[in-house]
Amino acid sequence: MKDDGEEHGESARRGPTSADKVLAVLSLFSAERPVWSPEGAARRLRVSLATGYRYFNTLVAAGMLEKLHRNRYVLGPAIVELDRKVRAADPVLKLAQPVMERLLRRLREPAAILLCRYYRQKVMCIHQETNRSGEPVSSYERGTLQPMFRGATSKVILAHLPPRIIVNLWRDHRREIAATGMGPSFEDFKAALRALRREPVNVATSEVDEGRTGIAAPIFDANGRVNGSLSIVLLSPPAGTRAVARLAIAVQAAAREIERSRGVTSDKGSKK
């Protein structure tokens, strides 16, 4: 499977490589099931018990897994270390963070600012800033995924995705798309996207967290492709149309600011 839902799986003459299966162990771990044993993983991956132990040992050696107890392994500290490197290397994050802080400081009401991006037919949160430390304003924190068709943050990205990906999304999520009202046919879907594209921001309520309202603007890269989105999430419904309009202008301005400062550290730089 490629980075989006390409390749229906036609000419795959060779099976998954050994390293593929070792890496597949990592994706067994989830919030619901954060602890695995070599035995359980071996059964799940259809390999022998001995191989299960071998996989776990190489992952432990790499720090990607950690032995908690006898038969209990969890995701390891190497992941924490790697994520630090991801943060340090992410140019968009580096540019966006101060902008997000400034935007948040202008808001009086309880709110969160989100920076998100496309990833494998979903949208992932890259960073969240909030002005409420106690109760979380949004559950949509770094590393969390949301479906492509729910929430302002997702939809504003969806609207600007390149046609190739749109086709794949339609192919793989027809049912879900229809359920969210973007029409039963591909033409309806494209029309819905065109409509979304006409608005500079997207506003949606209770699509990610109950009672929360998201106001999202797209962020484009130097080539005019969507890079992600910037959103304001409000704890309580906004006072009125004027309040929403004010916030919509603010997110847009912030998104433009991120785009503007982009040029400096852009990837189009030195080629060799």
From 33-41, 125-133, 192-200, 255-263, give the range in contact with DNA by CB under 7 A.
Answer: 33-41
Which listed option, DNA, its own copies, none, makes contact with residue 63 (CB within 5 to 8 Å by class)? its own copies
**3-state SS of 127-183?**
EEEECCCCCCCCCCCCCCEEECCCCHHHHHHHCCCCHHHHHHHHHHHHHHHHHCCCC
Least Cβ distance, residue 146 to its own copies (angstroms): 12
Least Cβ distance, residue 81 to DNA (angstroms): 23
The conformational region for residue 208 under phi > 0 = left, psi -120 to 50 = alpha, else beta, is alpha
Q: Does 265 bind DNA (CB under 7 A)?
A: no
Tell me how far apart the alpha carbons of residues 42 and 54 are, in angstroms, rounded to a whole number. Answer: 10
Which listed option, DNA, its own copies, none, makes contact with residue 74 (CB within 5 to 8 Å by class)? its own copies
From 9-17, 116-124, 161-169, 180-188, give the range in contact with DNA by CB under 7 A.
Answer: 9-17
Least Cβ distance, residue 73 to DNA (angstroms): 8
Half-sphere exposure for 252 (CA within 13 Å, toward CB): 11
Which listed option, its own copies, DNA, none, makes contact with residue 23 (CB within 5 to 8 Å by class)? its own copies
CA 262 distance to own-chain centroid: 20
- Which residue among 4, 5, 51, 256 contacts DNA (CB under 7 A)? 51
